[in-house]
Structure 1
Amino acid sequence: MVLNNIEKLLEKYDNGETSLKEEQVLKNYFKNDTVAPHLEMYKPMFDYFLVNQQEQFTKDVPLKTKRTFNYKWISVAAVAVLMLGFYFGTSIGANELGTYEDPQLAFNDFSKSMEMISSHFNKGTSTVSYLNEVNKGTSALGYLNEIENTTSIIFKTK
């Protein structure tokens, strides 16, 4: 009768339908050395629960939290300072439009800037000049393609 009751409790336990009192009955049954042979597989599980119930946490839990310095606010302040610097830096120099009173001085500055642009442009085009060699190579491949077409016509491979 007791064994039949334990089997019913185990079935309820497996389905998650037991109460705390019923689980305590199961723990007490598996704590004993006399367990039915077909229920031996449950004994290590309930032994683990008994041992686990005896464990205690022994470390101290600090109640005061450490004050950490929040670096996010430093970055926000730095961005604000930079934005103010850009705003006031551009508003002070906003009256100067870059115009010249003397046309000769304006022409000299314009020609200097065009010379600089021209030198940089020439430097850039000299580094791209190798593309002309690539075009020569692709035209040579075109000749090879024509040769392949004629040989396929001669030997009738197509």
Structure 2
Amino acid sequence: MVLNNIEKLLEKYDNGETTLQEEQQLKHYFTNETVPPHLESYKAMFTYFLVNEKEQFTKDVPLQSKRSVSFYTKWISVAAVAVLLIGFYFKSNVFQQQDDLGTYDDPKVAYNQLVQSLELISSNFNKGTEKLEYLNTYNKGVSKVGYLNEMDKTTSLIFKK
């Protein structure tokens, strides 16, 4: 009866549905009693958990004084604000100097420039697609292999046992 209860608790434990009291029961069972062979893997895990609960950190942790931490914090924050202000200043000056946005006053000149740009893009794109022409020959070969499949189907129908 106890073994059935423990197996039910283990199933709940594996599904993550146990309460803290049920987990304590499992730890107690696996540390005090002899465990059946099919539950040996759980024994190592639960004894580890029990030993881990009793572990304590006993070393002293040296802490810095509040004065040194606040002193560095103040100067780091002052330096960060200075860097931000310098960045905003230079960023605003750069945008003020650039008034030319690449616009054209004459629509014909703008149209001709656009046509030239699109022709350049098109020619480079066509060079890239020429390299893909080999894929067409590959597709033709694959379709011919498909005919072999059809032949295999018909021969299997003819020689069907």
Same-fold call, TM cutoff 0.5: no
TM-score relative to the length of structure 2: 0.43
- Radius of gyration: which is bigger? 1
